[in-house]
């Protein structure tokens, strides 16, 4: 009986070990969490070039986002093509509560100046004026905000105003969605420049002195040397929210935290940045040029990739890639009529840790037909005689 009991206990222990081994986990996030402390309810850090998620915490849960809303307001203003237009400030805009750049009713100001006031000082009045001018009305602008969110794949987002105040129940986003938005916005050079600006001056219509706006983002103004921009936010219901970007040695990162109970968010972002900068490097997974592994008669030495594919990895991860090449079934006539082969003949599927992370088109290289004139042939012959023609 004792022997039987021991066997049962051993069997139970073995089953427990097996179950622990197959429990789903997010290895990167687990290791990351052991290295740093993130008190924010939601957090994420991604690579700007590839979108790789290094760490996430409640990243897809919809939350109130406060003034980081203004990233969407800013990029829509920039993309409107109206940055050089002069805008008249409406009385309604000057009555918006919260942070302000103290615009005056009837004041005329350049849209570009408003975007600086929006991003550096988080002016809710500036957000309102931008919405009226770019969208025709605040409601029209909100429609544009949600339309852009849908285009970018922000699945857990709905905008109800251009500034992020808690005046609507259906105004929310997620840490992941805000990272996607920032990734898109940072591809725009003008947005990059505005987001990274420490101090901006614009004429004050009431006096002889310029308005001087200092960026509220402490990471940008000196707290973190590698900071390249971002946006702060706070309301009583959203608590502290922060989006920040940083670059070091060619690596560009985006971090987002939502619902941070205190001013620990500055340090949380620095810790996340430093962990990634110290542990990851870009590796070339695929190189541009002829795909030598494809040896089909029709495709051999003719199919190629137009660009490299790089990915940020830590030591030992490169072995976890799998590459699949999917090609069109060649038609019989293609062997004699090469001109009929399409430019794109397939796609490359790139898997990392058994997850499809990227696809790239496979191109077919056609031989260029040369239409040479008599003068061209004479030049070639003459060049070969004098030894200066390079074939």
- Is 122 catalytic? The answer is yes
Strand partners, 257: 43, 242
The DSSP result for 120-153, as a single string, is HS--HHHHHHHHHHHHSSHHHHHHHHHHHHHHTT
From the list 42, 57, 70, 174, the catalytic residue is 70
Locate 187 and state its tokens.
Answer: 């591809």
- Is 293 catalytic? The answer is no
Q: Give the helix ranges, DSSP H, for 189-316.
A: 189-196, 265-279
Phi-psi region of 164 (alpha: psi -120 to 50; beta: other; left: phi over 0): left
Locate 206 and state its tokens.
Answer: 């009431």
Nearest CA to 265 out of 57, 16, 1 is that of 57
From the list 40, 42, 67, 227, the catalytic residue is 67
d(CA 116, CA 110): 10
Q: Strand 108-110 to strand 86-88: parallel, antiparallel, or no bridges (unpaired)? A: antiparallel
Strand partners, 207: none
Classify residue 188 as exposed, middle or buried by CB count within 10 Å of its CB (0-12, 13-18, 19+).
middle
pLDDT digits (tens, 9 = 90+) for 215-226: 999 999 999 999
From the list 40, 42, 99, 122, the catalytic residue is 122
CA distances from 94 to 84, 107, 144, 202, 384 (A): 22, 10, 22, 18, 77
How many C-beta atoms lie closer than 10 Å to residue 115's C-beta? 26
Residue-range domains of the chain with CATH:
27-279 (3.40.710.10), 283-364 (2.30.140.30)
Low-confidence ranges of the chain (pLDDT < 50): 1-4, 6, 8-27, 370-391
d(CA 214, CA 114): 14
How many C-beta atoms lie closer than 10 Å to residue 5's C-beta? 9
pLDDT score of 9 = 47
- Is 262 catalytic? The answer is no
């Amino acid at each position: 009986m004792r022997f039987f009991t021991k066997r049962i206990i051993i069997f139970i222990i073995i089953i427990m070990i097996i179950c622990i081994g197959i429990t789903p986990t997010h290895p990167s996030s687990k290791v990351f969490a052991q290295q740093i402390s993130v008190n924010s309810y939601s957090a994420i850090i991604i690579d700007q070039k590839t979108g790789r998620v290094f760490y996430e915490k409640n990243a897809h849960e919809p939350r109130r986002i406060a003034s980081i809303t203004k990233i969407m307001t800013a990029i829509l203003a920039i993309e409107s093509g109206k940055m050089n237009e002069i805008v008249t400030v409406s009385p309604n805009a000057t009555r918006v509560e919260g942070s302000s750049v103290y615009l005056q009713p009837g004041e005329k100001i350049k849209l570009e100046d408003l975007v600086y006031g929006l991003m550096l000082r988080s002016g809710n009045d500036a957000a309102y004026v931008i919405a009226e001018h770019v969208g025709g009305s605040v409601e029209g602008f909100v429609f544009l905000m949600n339309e852009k969110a849908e285009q970018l794949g922000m699945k857990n987002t709905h905008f109800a105003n251009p500034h992020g105040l808690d005046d609507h129940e259906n105004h929310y986003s997620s840490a992941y969605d805000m990272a996607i938005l920032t990734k898109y916005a940072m591809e725009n050079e003008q947005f990059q420049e505005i987001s990274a600006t420490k101090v901006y001056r614009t004429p004050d219509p009431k006096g002889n002195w310029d308005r001087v706006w200092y960026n509220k983002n402490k990471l940008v103004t000196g707290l973190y040397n590698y900071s390249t921009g971002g946006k702060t936010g706070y309301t009583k219901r959203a608590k502290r929210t922060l989006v920040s970007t940083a670059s070091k040695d060619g690596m560009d990162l985006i971090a987002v935290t939502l619902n941070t109970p205190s001013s620990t968010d500055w340090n949380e972002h620095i810790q996340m940045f430093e962990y990634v900068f110290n542990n990851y490097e870009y590796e070339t997974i695929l190189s541009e040029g002829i795909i030598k592994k494809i040896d089909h008669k029709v495709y051999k030495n003719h199919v190629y990739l137009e660009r490299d594919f790089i990915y940020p990895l830590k030591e030992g991860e490169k072995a976890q890639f799998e590459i699949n090449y999917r090609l069109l079934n060649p038609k019989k006539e293609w062997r004699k009529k090469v001109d009929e082969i399409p430019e794109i003949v397939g796609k490359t599927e790139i898997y990392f840790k058994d997850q499809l992370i990227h696809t790239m088109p496979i191109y077919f290289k056609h031989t260029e037909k040369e239409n040479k004139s008599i003068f061209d042939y004479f030049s070639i012959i003459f060049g070969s005689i004098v030894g200066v023609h390079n074939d």
